């Protein structure tokens, strides 16, 4: 039987290739090369974690070694918050390892992590608008002047730490709020590149693609996401349906509505959240009406269990727009978004 260390060594070879490529990109310099290096380091970090998580038994020293490499990848990948999460795990895991061994394993990472953490803390300390907004539990400031300042602050931090997904996500959220669709798309695309397995990132990228990209490019993006739908992808299904509804405005309406309805029905089989299930039901009822040649009314809200929303809707409210806003808000927002 292959021993745990042998399995781990095999994994190191895989992540090692990614780290070599990432290091080469960093050496080339330039913003895009540095960002690509960050993406590669993040994937290497995920590989380090996956192999440990799937092993039925793992020696404490091997587990610590994997966490050290994972943390180092995130430090080199310009993601201090991500590295900080792993550092917390390291502080626990090192207590299960011989002190001298643990000290040797952390000799290279410790100083590098501390340096990265201090630099990041200093950069964020200057983000007064973001700090103020974050204290309220949100990410989008309420005034246009504050939104503009927050975007400037985010650009300054990301210039030094472009591997931080939560700050790209914040850029997307604020850019979308100010109506800058292209900046929002670029930021969300980078967010998903750094963390491609995050369901929320994937779902919102589909919806935004329908508004930010030409129809053929949006179709290609939607198709890629459809092929990778996971068993628990109700949020993605919801946003795929709304991306199709958005693209239907440009043509092939019935074809897109049918695809959207099929996807909404698929999402209903996977939905675990009450809010997402209600949004999927409302979306399905809207599509039933559109395919039957009927303009959706507030009745779809009541039928979907959204009576509170229906009761407060202004007379003449466009139900399609209302459910689209409600659906996207339920997918993209969560407490403490800068911890995304």
The whole-number average pLDDT for the span 131-137 is 81
Q: Please state the φ and ψ torsions of residue 135, each to the nearest 5 degrees.
A: -65, -25
* Per-residue pLDDT, 258: 96
| pLDDT reported for residue 6 | 65
Mean pLDDT of 90-100: 94
Position 337 pLDDT exceeds 60: no
Report which of 72, 63, 81, 272 is spatially closest to residue 195, judged by C-alpha positions: 81
The DSSP code for 294 is -
Alpha-carbon span 113 to 237, nearest angstrom: 39
Q: What pLDDT sits at residue 39? A: 97
CA distances from 34 to 75, 160, 235, 266 (A): 13, 10, 31, 39
* Average pLDDT over every residue of 308-335: 89
Tokens 């399609």: give the residue: 320
pLDDT score of 123 more than 70: yes
**Closest by Cα among 109, 95, 180, 107 to 140:** 180
d(CA 324, CA 82): 32
pLDDT at 4: 53
Kindly tell me if the per-residue pLDDT of 7 is higher than 70: no
Q: Across all residues in the chain, what is the average pLDDT? A: 90
Greater model confidence, 190 or 233: 190
222 Cβ contact partners less than 8 Å away, ≥ 6 residues apart: 206, 209, 210, 240, 243, 244
Asked if 291 contacts 257 with a C-beta cutoff of 8 angstroms, the reply is yes
What per-residue confidence (pLDDT) applies to 67?
A: 94
State percent of the chain over pLDDT 90.
75
Please tell me the distance from the alpha carbon of residue 219 to that of residue 249, in angstroms, as a whole number: 14
pLDDT tens track for 227-242 = 877 666 899 999 999 9
What residues contact 64, with CB distance under 8 A and at least 6 apart? Answer: 90, 93, 94, 96, 97, 102, 105
Q: Which residues of 57-73 are buried (b: 16+ CB within 10 A; e: fewer)?
A: ebeebbbbbbbbbbbbb
- Residue given tokens 């996971």 in the structure block: 230
Percent of the chain residues topping a pLDDT of 70: 93
Query: How far is Cα of residue 50 from the mean position of the Cα atoms in its chain?
Result: 19
Q: Is pLDDT at 76 greater than 90 in this prediction? A: yes
Which pLDDT belongs to residue 19? Answer: 92
How far is it, in rounded angstroms, from Cα 286 to Cα 268?
A: 15
Query: If you average pLDDT over residues 122-143, what whole number do you get?
Result: 87
pLDDT higher than threshold 90 for residue 58: no
- Return the pLDDT at 5: 54
Beta carbons within 8 Å of 39's beta carbon, 6+ residues apart? 77, 163, 193, 194
Q: Per-residue pLDDT tens for 211-227?
A: 999 999 999 999 988 88
> Are 4 and 62 a contacting pair, CB within 8 Å?
yes
The Cα–Cα gap between 232 and 234 comes to 6
pLDDT of 335 over the 50 cut: no
Is the pLDDT confidence value at 2 over 50?
Answer: no
Read off the DSSP letter of residue 229.
-
């Amino acid at each position: 039987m292959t021993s745990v260390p042998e399995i781990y060594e095999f994994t190191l070879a895989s992540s090692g290739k990614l780290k070599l490529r990432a290091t080469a990109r960093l050496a080339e310099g330039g913003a895009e090369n540095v960002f690509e290096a960050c993406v590669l380091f993040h994937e290497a970090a995920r590989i380090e974690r996956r192999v440990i998580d799937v092993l039925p038994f793992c020696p404490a020293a091997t587990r610590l070694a994997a966490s050290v490499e994972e943390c180092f990848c995130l430090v080199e990948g310009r993601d201090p918050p991500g590295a900080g999460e792993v550092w917390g795990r390291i502080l626990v895991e090192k207590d299960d390892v011989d002190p001298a061994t643990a000290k040797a394993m952390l000799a290279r990472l410790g100083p590098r992590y501390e340096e990265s953490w201090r630099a990041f803390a200093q950069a964020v300390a200057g983000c007064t608008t973001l700090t103020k907004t974050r204290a309220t539990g949100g990410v989008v400031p309420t005034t246009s002047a504050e939104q503009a300042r927050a975007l400037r602050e985010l650009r300054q931090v990301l210039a030094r730490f472009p591997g931080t997904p939560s700050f790209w996500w914040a850029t997307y959220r604020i850019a979308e709020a100010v109506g800058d669709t292209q900046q929002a798309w670029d930021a969300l695309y980078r967010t998903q590149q750094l963390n491609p397995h995050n369901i929320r990132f994937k779902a919102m990228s589909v919806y935004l693609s329908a508004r930010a990209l030409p129809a053929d490019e949006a179709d290609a993006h939607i198709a890629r996401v459809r092929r990778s739908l996971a068993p628990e992808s109700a949020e993605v299904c919801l946003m795929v349906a709304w991306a199709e509804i958005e693209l239907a405005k440009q043509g092939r309406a019935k074809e897109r509505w049918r695809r959207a309805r099929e996807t909404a029905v698929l999402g209903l089989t996977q939905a675990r959240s009450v809010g997402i299930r209600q949004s999927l039901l409302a979306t399905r009822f809207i599509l039933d009406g559109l395919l039957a040649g009927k303009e959706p009314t507030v009745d779809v809200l009541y039928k979907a269990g959204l009576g509170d929303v229906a009761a407060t809707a202004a007379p003449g409210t466009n139900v399609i727009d209302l459910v689209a806003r409600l659906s996207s808000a339920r997918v993209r927002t969560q407490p403490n978004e800068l911890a995304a």
